[in-house]
Structure 1
Amino acid sequence: MSSYSRFHRRHFLKFAGGAAASSLLMPSAALAAGAGDGWTKLLDRARQALDQHGDVIKHRDRLVLVDFSLPSATPRMMLVDLARGRRQLLRVSHGRGSDPAHSGWLRSFSNVSGSNASSRGAYITAATYQGKHGRSQRLVGLEESNNNAEARAIVIHGAWYSNDDVAARLGKLGRSEGCFAVSEAQIDPLLDWLGPERLLYADRV
């Protein structure tokens, strides 16, 4: 079994402290609380994607949701550990093409090469690698709305412009070229926790 396919509890718990003070570690059952809750709607869409793409998504014990309805300064990437009944919130950037004025709000999606925009829909996590942003993880888009993800090099990586101090100073994160960029402090524990062949689902609700 790959080291990335093992759940390292000590790494997961690191998210709850230090620079990630705004993060949550709560029972995932809380996702079902409250009619109209955006996270509940997003989780429902993710479960539908798991059913639709179950032949390629081998691991269904945990997944990642990204709610692009929220501003970039707000933690809007949710790690959902379905097996252990826990969830975690992190900050994550969106693409500059989705927010040309750098307002901190995603305005539009695009799947077009060169758009530098974020794409919506279901992704499967693939291999990790060392790139210009350090340790990163490739993503494969599973829907018409994001099936150019590999060609566009849309990945998960760490970046200084997603660090908590940027959000505190500017009231928003910097922008990526469409990648899911989290803080430099959180990228390693995130990738250790996530591993390959799991679902990342991004959308607005």
Structure 2
Amino acid sequence: MQFDDTVRSRRAILGSAAALAAFAVTRSTVGSADRVAPKPVPTPVRRRIFAEPKAASVRAPRGVQPELFDRAIAALDTHGDRVRRRDRIAIADFDAPSSEHRFQFIDLEQGEVTAMLVAHGSGSDPSHSGMLQRFSNEPNSNATCQGAFVTADYYVGKHGRSQRIVGLDSTNDNARSRAIVIHGAWYANPDMIQSHGMLGRSQGCFAVGEQDLPQVFAMLGEGRMIYAGKA
């Protein structure tokens, strides 16, 4: 009797264990089926970020020779580390006669142009025709030199208040030693055109009308570029 009871107890325990195991398996299976699998975390996509395309080349404002303007802008890029103010430039267009307003001050941000008279050197126009015939960088040539310049400091000399400029190219790197500057002069005043049909000549300096000089200084200041040339 005792043996039978023991057997029954063991069978009951085993049966209970089996039932629990079956229940656990069933619950696990049902839970797995019902549970929503988590969404995989997307792998970050590395996108190449391109800089905005450079703006189209600045076009020459009306009245400015495109070839000269393009060369001036190229010079501004070439000498950018020496030209600290890049909002305005000046172009001396020596294709034009001295009777024309060929000293062009260009606001690169607004596209506005202010033009004035400017004389060229006697060595560039020996016959005094009013047209620049040649450039020279040679000392004592009294000629206008071509290329890019940067405006420097002001001083008072024999022409009154004047401004030094520094030549940035091999075609004008003697400008400082030649004392090529910006100054006012009577022979660059507008009345010279009325009486002679042309301006007088400098010794290679950018000579402007005496009344125009303050405005020239205001538009140039220090650290801006002047480009002189012919197309």
Q: What TM bracket, shorter-length normalisation?
A: 0.7 to 0.9
What is aligned with 1:186?
212
CA contact (8 A) 2:192 2:199 kept: yes
What is aligned with 1:13?
none
Which 5+ residue runs of structure 2 have no aligned equivalent? 1-57
Q: Give the CA deviation at 1:84.
A: 2.8
Alpha-carbon distance between aligned partners in 2 of 1:32 and 1:85, rounded to the nearest angstrom? 6
| Secondary structure, counterpart of 1:125 in structure 2 | strand
RMSD: 1.5
The within-5 A match list for 1:33-52 is 39-52=65-78
Alignment of 1:171 onto 2:197: yes
Q: Give the CA deviation at 1:81.
A: 1.0
| Secondary structure, counterpart of 1:74 in structure 2 | coil
Based on CA coordinates, which of the two structures has the bigger radius of gyration? 2
124, 127, 135: which one aligns with 2:150: 124
Alpha-carbon distance between aligned partners in 2 of 1:32 and 1:194, rounded to the nearest angstrom? 18
How much identity, in percent, do the aligned residues show? 49
Which 5+ residue runs of structure 1 have no aligned equivalent? 1-28
- The residue identity in structure 1 corresponding to 2:217 is L
- What is the CA deviation profile of residues 24-76 of structure 1, one whole-angstrom value per residue up to 9, with x for unaligned ones? xxxxx88355xxx7622111111100110001100100010011011111110
| Secondary structure, counterpart of 1:31 in structure 2 | coil
Q: Which runs of 4+ in 1 moved over 2 A?
A: 29-33
TM-score by length of 1: 0.82
Alignment of 1:31 onto 2:57: no
Q: How many residues align?
A: 174
CA contact (8 A) 2:60 2:70 kept: no
- What is the CA deviation profile of residues 97-127 of structure 1, one whole-angstrom value per residue up to 9, with x for unaligned ones? 0001111010111000000000000000000
CA contact (8 A) 1:161 1:175 kept: yes
Alignment of 1:99 onto 2:125: yes
- The residue identity in structure 2 corresponding to 1:108 is R
The within-5 A match list for 1:36-185 is 39-185=65-211
| Secondary structure, counterpart of 2:223 in structure 1 | coil
CA contact (8 A) 2:61 2:112 kept: no
Alpha-carbon distance between aligned partners in 2 of 1:94 and 1:42, rounded to the nearest angstrom? 17
- The residue identity in structure 2 corresponding to 1:68 is F
Q: Give the CA deviation at 1:137.
A: 0.7
What is aligned with 2:36?
none
- The residue identity in structure 2 corresponding to 1:125 is T
Alpha-carbon distance between aligned partners in 2 of 1:103 and 1:59, rounded to the nearest angstrom? 36
CA contact (8 A) 2:188 2:200 kept: yes
Q: Give the CA deviation at 1:195.
A: 0.4
CA contact (8 A) 1:135 1:188 kept: no
| Secondary structure, counterpart of 2:65 in structure 1 | helix
Alpha-carbon distance between aligned partners in 2 of 1:48 and 1:147, rounded to the nearest angstrom? 18
